[in-house]
């Protein structure tokens, strides 16, 4: 199954409540997938700065003196905020590539969850309620966000198998469904020099989108070509710097419900996920069409 929620705020007055609203939506979807949960939040941004969110299975070791070590290696002012197994590194935008390269040698056991000006991705094994509490998700503010709760079907229940998956700067992907050609696609991507870390099918889809965009496609074009190249069942929600997109495979058996008011656009795997939103009684509620790419942008 898996459960997806997404919230794109039009009304700025709701931004302080983004984390709280997304958490409530995601907890409602717990019975669609209790294995692991994750959330991508597009929060505040500072001119010239970027954020690198990393995860470690041994945070007490990897995050000890991380700021100092990284700062001296790449010669940049930066700050590190440690939250449970994740650390958000705030650094000058121009130093992002250098920082990622340095991390590989300084802290080889850390994994990059997300990178970009605004995005922060938090994900772990466990129930949405527990994951949200560990990372203090209800306190997060922002313009939009995506949440996912996983019922693993084709690969292990691990942090790296949890969603969202980063697909590039300020971009991420969540998935409900299963892809049947992910092994052949993984080999094809390997020949193109794109590495995929886990046996997870969604990570392959994320890598596919990244590869398409590196070769000049826009995210919309990458999703369109995915309709031809990705075989299987999927409802995808993608997060972008200024909004989110939705696409369902042509058969569209994986559920999706959208709601729109003057204040927000919301996505839920089921209507239940949306019932706590303000003004939902008068919202326009509909199901996205199959094989159609939708985007909402600020």
Partner 1 sequence: MQTFDLADKGLRALNSTLQGQGQNTNETAWEVVNAKGSHAIAVGLDAPIEVTVRGSTGYYCGGMNKQATITVDGSAGPGTGENMMSGKIVIEGDASQYLGATAHGGLIVVKGNAASRCGISMKGVNIVVQGNIGHMSGFMAQSGNVVVCGDAGDALGDSCYEARFFVRGTVKSLGADCEKKEMRPEHIEFLKEILAEAGVDAKPEEFTRYGSARNLYNFDVDNAGDY
Nearer to partner 1, 82 or 283 (CB): 283
The correct pick among 81, 98, 285, 295 for binding partner 1 (CB under 8 A) is 285
In this chain, which stretch among 16-24, 175-183, 206-214, 251-259 interacts with partner 1, using CB under 8 A?
251-259
Is 136 or 287 the residue whose CB approaches partner 1 more closely? Answer: 287
Block residue for tokens 């907890």: 27
Binding piece for partner 1, criterion CB under 8 A, among 47-55, 134-142, 149-157, 280-288? 280-288
Chain residues 176-205 in contact with partner 1, contact rule CB under 8 A: none
Residue 232 in the binding site for partner 1 (CB under 8 A): no
Among 58, 214, 286, 298, binds partner 1 (CB under 8 A): 286
**Helices 96-106 and 66-74: angle between axes, nearest 10 degrees:** 120
Which of 106, 198, 290, 295 is the binder for partner 1 (CB under 8 A)? 290
By three-state DSSP, how is residue 112 classified?
Answer: strand
- 10 Å Cβ neighbour count for 291? 12
* Separation between Cα atoms, residue 52 and residue 47, nearest integer Å: 15
Number of residues that bind partner 1 (CB under 8 A): 15
Shortest Cβ distance from residue 143 to partner 1 (Å)? 26
Could you tell me if 214 and 171 are in contact, meaning their C-beta atoms sit under 8 angstroms apart? Answer: no
Query: Is 253 a residue that touches partner 1 (CB under 8 A)?
Result: yes
Residue 172 falls in the annotated catalytic set: no
CB of 280 vs partner 1, minimal distance in Å: 9
274 binds partner 1 (CB under 8 A): yes
Nearer to partner 1, 26 or 185 (CB): 26
Of 287, 292, 297, 298, which lies in the binding site for partner 1, with binding defined by CB under 8 A? 287
Q: 65-98 b/e with 16+ CB inside 10 Å = b?
A: ebbeebbeebebebebebbebbbbbebeeebbeb
Tokens coding 175: 């998935």
Whether cis (ω within 30° of 0) applies to the bond prior to 164 is yes
278: contact with partner 1 by CB under 8 A: no
Least separation in angstroms between CB 66 and partner 1: 43
Q: Hunting for tokens 């569209």 — which residue is that?
A: 252
Catalytic annotation, pick one of 1, 2, 93, 257: 2
CB of 137 to partner 1, least distance (A): 22
Q: What is the spatial distance between Cα 26 and Cα 139, in angstroms, rounded to a whole number?
A: 15
Examine residue 156 and tell whether it contacts partner 1 (CB under 8 A). Answer: no
When asked if residue 251 is in the footprint of partner 1 (CB under 8 A), the reply is yes
Terminal CA-to-CA distance of the chain, rounded, Å? 30
Sole window of 55-63, 77-85, 109-117, 271-279 interacting with partner 1 (rule: CB under 8 A) = 271-279
Here the tokens at position 289 are 């069409």
SS3 assignment for 38-100: EEEEECCCCCCEEEEEEECCCHHHHCCCHHHHHHHHHCCCCEEEEECCEEEEEEEHHHHHHHH
Least distance from C-beta 236 to partner 1, angstroms? 17
d(CA 159, CA 136) in angstroms, rounded, equals 17
Helix, strand and coil percent figures for the chain, each rounded to 5? 35, 35, 35
Residue 233 interacting with partner 1 (CB under 8 A): no
CA-to-CA distance for 86 and 63, rounded, in angstroms? 9
Residues annotated catalytic, as ranges? 2
Q: Which residues of the chain form contacts with partner 1 (CB under 8 A)?
A: 251-253, 255, 257, 270-275, 285-287, 290
């Amino acid at each position: 199954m898996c459960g997806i929620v997404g919230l794109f705020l039009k009304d700025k007055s709701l931004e302080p409540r983004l984390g709280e609203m997304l958490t409530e939506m995601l907890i409602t979807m717990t019975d669609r997938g209790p294995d692991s949960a994750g959330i991508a939040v597009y929060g505040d941004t500072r001119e010239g700065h970027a954020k690198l969110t990393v995860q470690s299975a041994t945070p007490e070791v990897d995050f000890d003196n991380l700021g100092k070590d990284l700062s001296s290696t790449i010669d940049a002012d930066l700050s590190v905020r440690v939250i449970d197994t994740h650390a958000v590194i705030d650094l000058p935008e121009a130093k992002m590539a250098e920082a990622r390269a340095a991390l590989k040698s300084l802290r080889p056991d850390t994994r990059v969850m997300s990178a970009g000006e605004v995005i922060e991705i938090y994900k772990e094994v466990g129930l949405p309620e527990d994951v949200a509490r560990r990372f203090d998700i209800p306190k997060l503010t922002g313009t939009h966000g995506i949440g996912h709760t996983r019922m693993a079907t084709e690969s292990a229940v691990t942090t790296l198998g949890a969603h969202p998956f980063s697909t590039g700067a300020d971009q991420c992907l969540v998935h409900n469904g299963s892809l049947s050609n992910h092994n052949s696609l993984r080999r094809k991507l390997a020949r193109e020099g794109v590495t995929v870390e886990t046996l997870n099918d969604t990570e392959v889809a994320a890598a596919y989108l990244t590869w398409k965009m590196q070769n000049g496609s826009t995210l919309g074009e990458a999703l369109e070509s995915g309709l031809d190249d990705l075989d299987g069942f999927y409802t995808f929600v993608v997060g972008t710097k200024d909004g989110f997109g939705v696409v369902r495979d042509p058969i569209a058996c994986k559920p999706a419900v959208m709601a729109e008011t003057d204040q927000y656009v919301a996505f839920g795997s089921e209507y239940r996920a949306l019932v706590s939103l303000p003004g939902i009684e008068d919202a326009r509620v509909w199901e996205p069409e199959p094989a159609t790419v939708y985007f909402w942008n600020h």
